[in-house]
Structure 1
């Protein structure tokens, strides 16, 4: 029984796209962990606002991880699924014990923008391969991360 993937995207392109998606997955999961940690550890006068905002953000990131991983699987490759696998490819710096709420906001903003750049970097290949489904996923991710970055930036404005 032949179960090879035959969806109109050649194997070389599928492999390269899934490598990029696995990087996006690693970045998204790493930002999820950092955001969740900040949710637990935020203190100060903005505690309630930030605690709730971080919860909204990490909940969305948890959903995104599943969507990205399932796209990797749809393209016929294995989705990363370990801390060490994520650590090898992510560009997100992990939480190193930050306790200052403003520093948390800055680091989360940097993480959101990192993911935007990771997603954007995949467009040329995805477009060349006529992979509309991955292009749609990337568009949705970029739109959401840009909105979240705007909100974080607004919290930092003085």
Structure 2
């Protein structure tokens, strides 16, 4: 039995989609970590609602990280899995120190929009490769991050 992958997507296309998904994985994991940090450290009059909201978000992101990594593996690519690899690949800006609840929400909006832009960049790679599985995963992530950014932005309106 051969170890070669024959799923109807050539090696070059699988590598390109896998590389793109690796960036999406790094952004998603970085956003997961940022959201978890904010869950732990949020304070103020909206503590309970934000604490719960952030928990809902990081729980969803934890599942997404696994789904993205498993898709990368299904393409025959090694999924990045270290902080050093994620730091090289992510576009999410790290937050230094503790910040207030409003700034946390602003940063999360920015981070979700960053993930949206990353997903939009790689969607054509999957589409061009006729990789419906990856394209579907990317499209699903677009829906989640666009909706989450909208909902978070709603918290900032006066």
Q: Judge conservation of contact 2:39–2:51 (CA < 8 Å) in 1.
A: yes
TM-score (norm 2): 0.98
Question: 2-side partners of 1:151 and 1:98: how far apart?
Answer: 23
Residues 95-154 of structure 1, C-alpha deviations (whole Å, 9 max, x = no match): 211321000000000010000110111122111110000110011100011110111010
What does residue 148 of structure 1 align with? 148
Runs of 4+ that moved beyond 4 A: none
RMSD: 0.7
Question: 1-side partners of 2:59 and 2:95: how far apart?
Answer: 18
Instruction: Confirm whether residue 43 of structure 1 aligns to residue 43 of structure 2.
Output: yes
| Gapped regions of structure 2 (runs ≥ 5) | none
Residues 31-83 of structure 1, C-alpha deviations (whole Å, 9 max, x = no match): 00010000000000010010000000010011100000000000001000000
Q: Judge conservation of contact 1:37–1:95 (CA < 8 Å) in 2.
A: no
TM-score (norm 1): 0.98
Q: Judge conservation of contact 2:36–2:54 (CA < 8 Å) in 1.
A: yes
Q: Judge conservation of contact 2:123–2:139 (CA < 8 Å) in 1.
A: no
Question: 2-side partners of 1:40 and 1:129: how far apart?
Answer: 41
Question: 1-side partners of 2:83 and 2:21: how far apart?
Answer: 16
Q: Judge conservation of contact 1:98–1:104 (CA < 8 Å) in 2.
A: no
Question: 2-side partners of 1:106 and 1:130: how far apart?
Answer: 36
Instruction: Confirm whether residue 16 of structure 1 aligns to residue 16 of structure 2.
Output: yes
Query: Which piece of structure 1 moves more, 124-133 or 93-102?
Result: 93-102
Question: 2-side partners of 1:100 and 1:85: how far apart?
Answer: 29
Question: 2-side partners of 1:150 and 1:31: how far apart?
Answer: 16
What does residue 89 of structure 2 align with? 89
Question: 1-side partners of 2:141 and 2:104: how far apart?
Answer: 22
